[in-house]
Amino acid sequence: MEAASDALIRFLATERGLSRAYQLSVRQTLDALAGWLRLRGAPLREVGTEDLAAFLSQRKCEGLNAASLRITTVHLKVFFRWLAAQGRLEMDPAEPLLAPRPDLTLPETLHAAELLTLLESIDPAQPLGRRDLAILELFYASGLRLSELCSARLEMMNFDDGFLRITGKGNKTRITRVGTKAREALLDYLQNERPSLVSKRTSSHIFLSVRGTALSPDRVRQIVKERAALAGITHNVYPHLLRHSFATHLLEGGADLRVIQELLGHADIATTQVYTHVDRQRLKAVHKQFHPRG
């Protein structure tokens, strides 16, 4: 099992070019399966569909929600399809498995007024104020994922036209718009603060730490939380919340769902459609509040 897992991860990395985060996610599923098989003394070559169904059932009992079970099922399908294609198994026992439908969970968002409060609370004249303001402006203006912002480099930015070329999930490249305010904040940071952060170890990453290295995802999460707390926003604020707010506010403003899909880098329009439910919830709330018979 361990040798097969290692071989699949190498395949995903070298042949498919999938991200380290995806590789780690698959590895976690396969490690859990290996432990489950070890407890039962079941060799990999004898695993059947009923065994995999029992494994998924136990994962559900351990507290995995429908979305996580769906991801686990996909990982199993990838693994056993690959084993069968390699001739390591005579048949693919995961093929009949049905992935559970994910629960519809509406994404959290910030109101436009809250975002304005957050952005206006940052004083660019304070240490790292220009950097932190540029980070928050870019999250909200472009709907970037955390990993996309952390990996953004100077050569990816077109300031004349206001576009940023980024590589998202599955190593797919897309062009996203950078709004006027975000562009102004970025230019201010790049001209007046980033040079002071540069060191011998500095790469072309846009956002740098005080040591001159690229900001880590954990540090960016911390920056977002700290800035929200300083702005007096009491509920949990995190990078993906700004991405949700970006999409929701575009939809509320009348943007076409296909355009939002492209800006977010969603491969499937169904992923983007969750924001239509957010908009319907808002419409219902407004109707109930203001209509005489709401």
212 and 201 Cβ atoms separated by less than 8 Å = yes
Asked about 145 being catalytic, the answer comes back as: yes
**One of 130, 145, 183, 227 is an active-site residue; which one?**
145
Residue type, 147: S
What stretch of H or E contains 157?
A: strand 157-158
Bridge partners of residue 163, in order along the sequence:
158, 177
**One of 77, 221, 225, 266 is an active-site residue; which one?**
266
**One of 169, 181, 219, 225 is an active-site residue; which one?**
169
Asked about 240 being catalytic, the answer comes back as: yes
Asked about 266 being catalytic, the answer comes back as: yes
**Sheet strands side by side (includes 173-177):** 157-158, 163-167, 173-177
Asked about 189 being catalytic, the answer comes back as: no
Collect all residues with Cβ–Cβ distance below 8 Å to 49 and sequence separation of at least 6. Answer: 93, 94, 95, 96, 97
As annotated, the active-site residues are 145, 169, 240, 243, 266, 275
